[in-house]
Amino acid sequence: MSLDRCTHAGTARADDEDVVLSDHEWSSYRNRRRRCVGSGPQRRPRRTRVELGPDVDARTAADRFLASPALAEGTRRAYRRDVGEFCSWLEAGGTALDDVDVRTLAAYVAHLGAARGGGRPGRLAPATISRKLAAVRAFLRHSLGAARVPDAALAPRRGRRLPDAPRAAEIEDALAALEGEGPVPLRNRALVELVYSAGLRSAEAVGLDLADVDFEQELVHVRRGKGGKDRVVPLGEEAAHWLARYLREARPALAGGANDALFLSVRGRRLDTSTLRRVLPHPHRLRHAFATHLLEGGADLRTIQELLGHSSLSTTQVYSHVDARRLRRVYDHAHPRS
């Protein structure tokens, strides 16, 4: 292989927006370089970004951003509407994408916070505005570069909303209601037991493969969780019991072919999150219950943070407020001088 060809192999994707080489791509690139220029230390190619030309409008840039392989599919779906709304707002005001600055973003936040017409609910909640602004910032970092995106706090402050965690008795009633004859009720019981036992997000639960459950070590390997992070969580005895029954008695009846997915639909395909929501509305409450019950049982916040897969301890600390609120109710009810 000639040096020119090797150089081309490392730069062929330089026309992509915000190119991020995966570990596999980087390994392949490094091996090609070593064959051509020796085995000395290699530096990972820097990110590249195409400068916006005068003919590149916001819609075209948004399409490139949403097509980026760096986005998870769930993130892509969530960003599509928010970024599209921002592009429509830019077009209505005659603002070019390359002219966006902190004043533009401040004006857009004000637009989002204004009263809405057309029979829609009054104003957007602060949490919704923050979500939309986060999507817009990601789009602008991709299209204009990080240096062009202001770090100013523009979103409105939002009050802390404490997680709604069901009590253990409520969970027991919900699990008992899932019992029934046939493979589907058994699958549903195993699925919900695992979500509560391991504190899984809905997408994490339906994304599990057969190899991700280790019965011998009593562990569940969560791969590609939120933010692309992997983690390992314990497999509780009850969840292990129902999973073993499901794998032995129900999954073979659902499997229509070769499929590594742990939980299968009646058509033999991997379940999606909408199925879990039909089985149990608001399944994320089980994740709140997982964290709250661990805290009430004496677990420390750092451990709960690791089990939940939170990047920041501040995200996990909200459960300490839930625990304190419950302790106050117990005190008020039980102490004679409360």
What b/e readout covers 151-173, taking b as 16+ CB neighbours within 10 angstroms?
eeebbbeeeeeeeebbeeeebee
pLDDT at 78: 87
Domain membership of residue 157 (yes or no) is no
94: amino acid identity, one letter:
G
The arrangement of strands across the sheet holding 219-222 comes to 213-214, 219-222, 231-234
Same domain for 32 and 109, yes or no, is no
Sequence-ordered strand ranges (E) for the chain:
213-214, 219-222, 231-234
Residue with tokens 């909640």: 125
CA distance 15 to 239: 49
Amino acid identity for residue 277 in this structure = R
Domain that holds residue 91: 58-148
Angle at 142 between CA 138 and CA 146, to 5 degrees: 80
In angstroms, the Cα distances linking 189 to 186, 211, 232 are: 5, 20, 22
How crowded is residue 198: how many other Cβ atoms within 10 Å of its Cβ?
Answer: 26
On whether the CB atoms of residues 218 and 235 are closer than 8 A, the answer is yes
Active site residues: 201, 226, 284, 287, 310, 319
Q: What is the pLDDT of residue 61?
A: 93
**pLDDT at residue number 40:** 47
- Count of domains forming the chain: 3
Give the separation between CA 143 and CA 157, rounded to whole angstroms: 27
The pLDDT of residue 120 is 55
- Residues 6 or more apart whose Cβ sits within 8 Å of residue 41: none
Please indicate, yes or no, if residue 159 is contained in any of the structural domains.
no
Report how far residue 15's alpha carbon sits from residue 11's, in angstroms, rounded to the nearest whole number: 9
> Are residue 23 and residue 118 in the same domain, yes or no?
no
Q: For residue 128, give Cα distances in angstroms to 1, 80, 132, 179, 248.
A: 53, 15, 6, 37, 44
Note down pLDDT in tens along the chain; length 338 residues. Answer: 433 434 333 333 333 333 344 444 445 445 544 444 444 444 544 443 444 554 568 999 999 999 998 888 888 888 999 999 999 999 999 999 999 988 899 899 889 888 665 555 567 888 888 889 999 999 999 999 988 887 777 766 655 566 678 888 999 999 999 988 899 999 999 999 999 999 999 999 999 999 999 999 999 999 877 777 899 999 999 999 999 999 999 999 999 776 899 999 999 999 999 999 999 998 999 999 998 888 888 888 888 888 999 888 877 877 776 666 665 665 566 656 64
Please tell me the predicted confidence (pLDDT) of residue 254.
Answer: 94
Q: Specify whether 65 is located in the same domain as 17.
A: no
| Residue 226 per-residue DSSP state | G
Do 23 and 63 lie in one domain? The reply is no
Burial of 69: CB neighbours in 10 Å, binned 0-12, 13-18, 19+: exposed
Reported pTM: 0.59
Domain CATH for 196: 1.10.443.10
If DSSP codes are grouped into helix, strand and coil, which group holds residue 178?
coil
User: Do 69 and 127 share a domain, yes or no?
Assistant: yes
